[in-house]
Amino acid sequence: MTDPKDFVAVVDSDVRKTPRRIAFITKRTSPQVHVKDEERVMTYPEVFFRTAVAIQVLAIILVVISLRWNAPLEGLADPMHTPNPAKAPWYFLGLQELLHYFPPVVAGVLIPGLVVMALIVIPYFNINIEAEGLWLRDKTRRLRIFGTVVVLFCIFLAVFDVWVALVPTLIVAAFMLLAAQTPPQITRGFRGWLASKPLSFWIMTWFLFELVVLTAIGTFFRGPGWSWVWPWRT
């Protein structure tokens, strides 16, 4: 990315007036960068009251929910009687679902640890700074790498019988392929939008998708002995 042929980095010098900002100008954009002071509003009262109203609306919703639905409370804790299934809070059910497939060291330590590490390092590796569509350049090589990674990963998931994680992976992969097949001239519409998405977008979307699917399955579709149940058939 430091290749001067690709784009030029410019640092705005007037740091006292406006915060330091970096502009990345790629070849495809116009070399003229139009800089203009934006319209600004006073924090007080505008930001202050807007935020307050937003919080109040949320509070109103929560108060209504609290008046209507009681928080769950079960019988007194009894170490002798294990409920079946014993479920963690909902936000950990994705993890618990993974525990069903992988040994605890992997599902309980390795995966969450890697996720947290990945989240922390995101901004330090200039990920997504380019914000360039994944398939816009070097498509053949990238497709090859992409194909290898996806197939290997899917085999790995299949070996462990993790079908619930495999399906979202395949769906995301399918959209990525759709984006790859988009001709360069299409820049508008859904396909154009897809084609403009960088790698980081795809990875994060895959992660979000997996998180939602696994959590939903752990919450709604798991019954006694962590067996599969249909929530509407109880």
Partner 1 sequence: MKNNLHALWQLFFGDSARAFGSASVILLVLLAVAPAKNYFSEWRHYQKQYLHLIRGRADAVTLERHFQGGIQQIWIPEQQVTDRCTTCHLGMKEASLADVNSVAFREHPVIPHKLTEFGCTTCHRGQGAATTVEEAHSATEQWEQPLLPAKYIEAGCGQCHLENQTGTPFLNQGRQLIVSYGCTHCHTIKQGDGIYLTPDDDPPSLKHIADKTTREWVYAWIKDPQAYAGTATMPNYHLNDDDARDVSAFILAQSTPLEPPLQPLKADTKAPADPAAGTSLYGQSFCASCHAMQNAAGMMVGGNVGPELTGIGTKAKPEWLQDWVGNPSHYDPGTMMPHYRFDAQQVVTLTGFLESKTEPDFIANVHLDPATPEQIEHGKRLVVENGCASCHDINGIKKPENFAPELSRIGSKPLNQLIFVEGVEHSLPGYVAGKVRNPRAFGPSLKMPQFKFTPQQIDAVTTALLALTDRAQSQPPTMRIASVQQTRYQPAGNAGQLMRDLRCFTCHMINGHGGDMAPDLTWEGTAVQREWLTQFLKNPETLRPALIRRMPKFNLTDAEINTLADYMMTVYQTPEFDRDSLPVSQFNPAQVEQGRQLFYSKFACQSCHIADYKNDKGYIGPALAATGKRFNAAWVYHWLKDPQALRPGTIEPNQHMTDDDARSLTAFLMSLKSGGAQEATKK
Partner 2 sequence: MANTLDRLADQVRENRIWRSIFRSGTGESNLHRALTVQQNVFLHLFSVKARKRTLEFRATWYLGALTFGTFLILVITGILLMLYYHPSVPQAYADMKDLQFVVSSGVFLRNLHRWSAHAMVFLVFAHMFKVFYRGAYRPPREFNWVIGVVLLLMTLLLSYTGYLLPWDQLAFWAVTVGSNIASAVPVIGAKMRFLMLGGTAVNANALLRFYVLHCVILPFAAVVLIAIHFWRIRKDGGIYPGESPAEGDAK
Residues contributing to the site for partner 1 (CB under 8 A): 45-46, 49-50, 52-53, 56-57, 59-60, 63-64, 66-67, 72-75, 81, 83-84
Contact 225, 85 (CB under 8 A): yes
Q: Locate tokens 């060291």: which residue?
A: 105
Decide which of partner 2, partner 1, none touches 11; Cβ closer than 5 to 8 Å per partner kind. Answer: none
- For residue 63, count CB atoms less than 10 angstroms from its CB and return exposed for 0-12, middle for 13-18, buried for 19 or more: exposed
CB of 219 to partner 1, least distance (A): 17
- Nearer residue to partner 1 within complex by CB, 9 or 63: 63
Q: Report cis status (omega within 30 of 0) of the bond before 231.
A: no
Of 181 and 227, nearer to partner 2 (C-beta) is: 227
Which of partner 2, partner 1, none interacts with 39 (beta carbon under 5 to 8 A by kind)?
A: partner 2
Encoded amino acid at 223, one letter: G
User: At closest approach, how far in Å is the CB of 220 from partner 1?
Assistant: 17
Match 């001709």 to its residue by tokens. 183
Q: Which of 69, 49, 197 is nearest to 133 (CA)?
A: 197
CB of 62 to partner 1, least distance (A): 10
Q: Coil, strand or helix: which one is 30?
A: coil
Query: Would you say 194 and 182 are in contact if contact means Cβ atoms under 8 Å apart?
Result: yes
CB nearer partner 2, residue 33 or residue 170? 33
Minimum distance of partner 1 from residue 68's CB (angstroms): 10
Q: Which amino acid is at 46?
A: E
Q: Which CB, 70 or 234, lies closer to partner 2?
A: 70
Which one of partner 2, partner 1, none is in contact with 225 (Cβ closer than 5 to 8 A by kind)?
none
